[in-house]
Amino acid sequence: MEAQGRPEVAPEALMRAERRRLDALTGLRALAAGWVVLVHYRERLVEGIPGAEHLEPLMRFGYLGVDVFFVLSGFILAYTYSATFDGGVTGTTYRRFLKLRLARIYPVHLLTLHAQVALVLAAGLIGIGYEAPGVLFTFRTYVENLALVHVWFTHEPSWNIPAWSISAEWFAYLLFPFGAVWLASYKRRWISFAGAAGCFAILLAAFTTWFSHTELPGPGALTRIACEFAAGCFLYRIYRDFPWPRIGHIALPAAILIVASPWLTGSDYRYHEAIMWSPLFGLLILGLAYNRGPVAALLRLPWTVFWGEASYSLYMTHELLLQVFNKLVPASPLSGPGPAGILACTLLLAAALGVAAATYLLIERPARAWLRRASLPRRGVAPGSGEPVG
């Protein structure tokens, strides 16, 4: 709906916002994506690398890497677009915003979705069983994946499994501009603290009641994105309204507690017990935004920033690669710790990074730049925006 009496935001204003970046938070994306990779690869890693079983609890908590992304996404979108929607939402600004978000997520989603379709069809044609217990390879879920709504209707995984979180992100993108207007209407700075705390409290309450039966993160996906994305928006307001660099020092203790959380929670955990640590992700992100301390320094390194920028490609391709790898390099006879197991794990990780880098450099970045030029035809947009999605 067009707002009456409000000036349109010029396309270049959106583009200037897209160019801003927070490198420590871009680097955090690399760690979050790597954590998700570890949870999916952990059986091969624990089986093939001597001593890896000691890190198995940390790898098993890798599901929480998606929660890092959800909070981070709310923070960065508020940082990038709040000024765009301060005066309200118009049809033009809303459409431009959604086009820019689709440019960010859709090319790689489309690629990996059809790569998964090709794998399933090829396996059927040559008579190879394609075991994926609980994964829905149906035409209906294919259409839902195309429309990015598949996680809205069921928590069962379908096609490229990691794409469930992209569907949840799309849900948040559709609502974000209206939430940004609502948030801008509150001028009292303490509202941001109460809002962030309240979002995490609602999340924890939901997972200790409605979703307490689950051992996996699928159920409650929209609850997770709604609470964590909103918390990230409130955290941005704290960052904006309280320019106190000393807040940056909370990043180190938050990071230490996050790494220790698997052992503090215990080995026989359920997902609703693990998610109790999610408020630490908010503290870590808020601290890193101030670019202070050793954690921020590590995450600002050029190689960390590169893998942060390529993290979406890594996140979206790693599960497909694992499926192919398990067919080509079965666990036996390369099972058990030893040279053969180490070689298999090294090949798997190197292939995951290689496929991710190629996807980012050859598909994601060029396609995103082309789609942005199509959305904002008068100016070019630098490829790396430093925005977190995953």
User: Quick check: is 29 in a domain?
Assistant: yes
In a domain, 160, yes or no: yes
- Better pLDDT: 49 or 108: 108
CA distances from 384 to 11, 142, 289, 351, 375 (A): 18, 30, 18, 23, 17
| Domain of residue 350, residue span | 11-375
Contacts of 11 (CB under 8 A, 6+ apart): 96, 376, 378, 379
Task: Classify residue 64: in a domain, yes or no.
Answer: yes
Average pLDDT in the 73-86 region? 86
Amino acid letter for position 53 = E
- The answer, yes or no, to whether residue 268 has pLDDT greater than 90, is no
* Separation of alpha carbons 251 and 296, rounded Å: 8
Tell me if 116 sits within 8 A of 320, measured CB to CB: yes
CA distance 296 to 294: 5
Q: Does residue 387 form part of some domain?
A: no
Look at the chain and report how many structural domains it folds into.
1
pLDDT in tens, 205-238: 888 877 666 655 556 788 889 999 999 999 998 8
pLDDT of residue 270 exceeding 80, the answer is no
pLDDT at 31: 93
Whole-angstrom distance, CA of residue 59 vs CA of residue 37: 9
Buried-state track 26-39, b at ≥16 Cβ within 10 A, e below 16? bbbbbbbbbbbbbb
pLDDT at 358: 95
> Sign (positive/negative) of CA torsion 145, 148, 152, 155?
positive
Residue 370, in any domain of the structure: yes
371 domain residue, yes or no: yes
Instruction: Report yes or no on 35 lying in a domain.
Output: yes
Report the alpha-carbon distance of residue 299 to residue 308 in Å, rounded: 9
Report the C-alpha gap between 31 and 16 in whole angstroms.
27
C-alpha 31, offset from chain centre? 11
The per-residue pLDDT for range 362-375, each reduced to its tens digit, is: 999 998 888 877 76
* pLDDT, average across residues 200-209: 85
C-alpha span between 349 and 328 (Å, rounded): 15
Q: Find where tokens 């309240």 sit.
A: 198
Assign 332 a pLDDT band (cuts: 50, 70, 90).
low
Distances (CA, A) of 118 to 123, 150, 331, 344, 348: 8, 19, 24, 25, 21
Q: Sorting pLDDT into bands at 50, 70 and 90, what band is 170?
A: very high
* The pLDDT value given to residue 372: 78
Q: Within a domain: residue 174?
A: yes
